Structure 1
Amino acid sequence: MLADSQAAGHRRLRLLLRPGRADVNSLMLRFGGAAPLLGLRVADQPVPAASLRPTAGVVSFPFFAPSPQGEELEIDLADTAPLHLVVTTRSLGLPASLAPPLPATVVPAPGYNSFTTQVQQEFAL
């Protein structure tokens, strides 16, 4: 957490998300909680309001090619209620400790989440 400020019933959070692995190629951010999400900036770029509409009370936002040094998020909330943030990091392949390398004659199944390592972390802010 870089900053947490409140003014006139609104809340602004600044966070630095740093992947725990060097080979992370995407992040999935899921925002939940009682406070509506008013705005989001990722890597100093504003996310369009249409992308912040909740589905079943959760706003999901994918982010591709994050920097290994981390990406800064700026989150604007409609009130000071706690925010629930779930971050899922994704990298291609499976850890060698969990699965031996595939023989050269075997190709992983096609699909976005096929043959990937995904790690999920939850934060109450």
Structure 2
Amino acid sequence: MGLPKEHRLKHWRDFKTIYSQGKRFRGDALAIILLPQPAAPTKIGISISRKVSKKAVVRNLIKRRIRHACRTLLPQIQPGWHIVIAVRYNARECEYEHFLQELKRLLIQAEVFHGH
């Protein structure tokens, strides 16, 4: 199951705007780019390059794990943010728990995470 529809970032224009104007936070396997959107609910998009893996099966597995981590953390993320999660090369070896911990750490670092 993916993210709820109102929390999905889908348009390429949104991704482009966030990449060009957003603030970046980098971890081992993930990087997040955030852009405040005060009047909107928090929306999350995932970007994964073929450089991470040439195999779509592997890329899709990584995206599923990250989406699950996002679903878990979504209630604790402050509303009003557009977030792009960029998957880095090291993500190939990571399990769900690592994505969850790293995503939480990056969101705390970005000061958009409640409950810390």
Instruction: Check whether TM > 0.5.
Output: no
Q: In proportion to residue count, which structure has more helix? A: 2
TM-score (norm 2): 0.30
RCO higher in 1 or 2 (8 Å CA, sep ≥ 6)?
Answer: 2
Q: In proportion to residue count, which structure has more strand? A: 1
